[in-house]
Amino acid sequence: MQNKRSESDLCVASNREQSFPSSGNDGGIRRIGSYHLRAFGEVDTELVPSLAMAAGRALLCRPQSEVVSGEVKTSGKEETFVLTTPLYYVNAPPHMGSAYTTIAADAIARFQRLLGKRVVFITGTDEHGEKIAAAAEASGSSPSEHCDTISQSYKILWKELDISYDKFIRTTDQKHEAIVKEFYSRVLNNGDIYRADYEGLYCVNCEEYKDEKELLENNCCPMHLKPCVPRKEDNYFFALSKYQKALEDYISSNPDFLKPSFRLNEVQGWITNGLKDFSISRSSVEWGIPVPNDKTQTIYVWFDALLGYISALSEDSEQSNLQQAVNSGWPASLHLIGKDILRFHAVYWPAMLLSAGLSIPNMVFGHGFLTKDGMKMGKSLGNTLEPMDLVQKFGADAVRYFFLREVEFGNDGDYSEERFVNIVNAHLANTIGNLLNRTLGLLKKNCQSTLPYDSIFAVEGNSFKDSVSQLVEKAKYHYENLSLSSACESILEIGNVGNLYMDKNAPWSRFKQGGASSEMAAKDLVIILEAMRIIAAALSPVTPSLCFRIYSQLGFSKEQFEAVTWDDTRWGELRAGRVMAEAKPVFAKMENNQDGDKKGSSKEGKNKKILRQGLVEA
């Protein structure tokens, strides 16, 4: 039960809180910031500026050189694309769900870079709250030491997985705390924070109060399956209910704000059922950012952590300032999250931003959960999938490819080692790797590893080029629409078409015939190698290391590979006289041996020790 206090009580949090008295003839309407509010914070929907102006916003096309909510945006021709993973909670080391989100985000970031955009890929760690303090105590360390250890374990894993993040924000960073306090003051001065007593059922794992109607038997949290505990405390609250109509209008006018589309109905249902103000401070938690002017309270972990998406944009060298951070790339183009934290990103966060006068992100994409062998994963079940174990056993390319190719992005997905090995071997080792290897072998044997023709000349009068171009366009379309599995499928189909072409034309036989047949065979090899180059360029967001090895065998340097753009997926890059490297497998076949030796075992001990320190039951 929530009991609002008198107006004098509500002002203790800040001496900058302002009152806005009614003029007496305005029907009880007050003007706060850019909104007209009726008494008790109800939005006057006739006077709130329309939020529909952002309708039709496209995720990958909207330039961030606009002026939104009075903010100065980055100018110039270069389009900025800001995407974020969640800031991962450091109560325990990274799990496969965190790795999956980050792998997907990295593929999207790499694709956007291929398009020539200025990409700001943000990830990081959420390091405050009751669970963190408990995890630190369980591991025998201080909260600060615990956070340092677990945060570092994320950085180690991201390096192993070829994650190309641009910003890594920690909520214990000094610049983050400064921006959180400034944001809090903005919301407070807009009249959207008040103090009240609250009594209810609290989930320690979620770190939030729960409505009884959403709980399972014995008041168990449906997410963690653990009983919620009765708790009563004196907190500060955010007036979420004030923004119900504004959020309804915004989401209705911007259906692309929430993806996949079926997430839209879920969020609309939450809003339609009525939004309740939520507590944004804790009096019982010491490990957190103090509420401005009230050190007896710390800011609620979600109110704190969501702002990491903005604080990450500020430079370490400059004094932290909310507006400077916003000017560096806000609003985000894409928040990539797991569906379990959709409510925080699709309801709480937009309302908080509206209160502070800031723009709402272009899109929130909530992906599904992962299972193992058809079962939910959990430490109590003994079937967890450790991402570091997986990448050290099979390599980053295999892990990245399997989860992006086999899991339809947005839906739940399943991992089994047998399917993992079969899919990766069939696609990367056989379809792609073997095609490259045998083509280079024939080129060495018959052409001294040197291309005898330009690829443009070799393909004249041949429909193969058109087939490849169509598949490249399909892949681009799927990347742009975050259909990562379909993008992989389209690119792999180039390899399938190439293998069929080789089998049909049999250049090894044509070389034996000599004369014109040998010339045709040589052209066939150039055609296939150009297709392999295009595969490497197009698949590089998914398997960057594999694609570099392909480019290297085609005679390109690392610098040339790193300079590749999506324009390089067009036909015609390979020229006569280019010398190919020695043919060798670019992807070694794997064995389905769950008890076998792990790849990279020499460094496994050190990394696993760091990853597992501080591990507690989630």
Closest CA to 163 of 105, 205, 204: 105
Spatial contact of 394 and 388, defined as CB atoms under 8 Å apart: no
pLDDT single digits (tens) 291-342: 998 999 999 999 999 999 999 999 887 678 999 999 999 999 999 999 999 9
Angle 429-489-496 (CA atoms, 0-180°, nearest 5)? 55
What pLDDT is recorded for position 6? Answer: 35
Rounded to two decimals, what is the model's pTM?
Answer: 0.82
367 in the Ramachandran plot: left (φ > 0), alpha (ψ -120 to 50) or beta?
A: beta
What pLDDT is recorded for position 78? Answer: 77
Q: How far apart are CA 303 and CA 280, in angstroms?
A: 6
What pLDDT is recorded for position 182? Answer: 97
Q: In the chain, which residues have pLDDT < 50?
A: 1-76, 595-618
What pLDDT is recorded for position 544? Answer: 98
What pLDDT is recorded for position 381? Answer: 67
What pLDDT is recorded for position 364? Answer: 98
Query: What is the torsional sign of CA 580, 581, 586, 589?
Result: positive
Long-range contacts of the stretch 38-42 (C-beta < 8 A, 24+): 41/191, 41/192, 41/239, 41/241, 41/242, 42/242
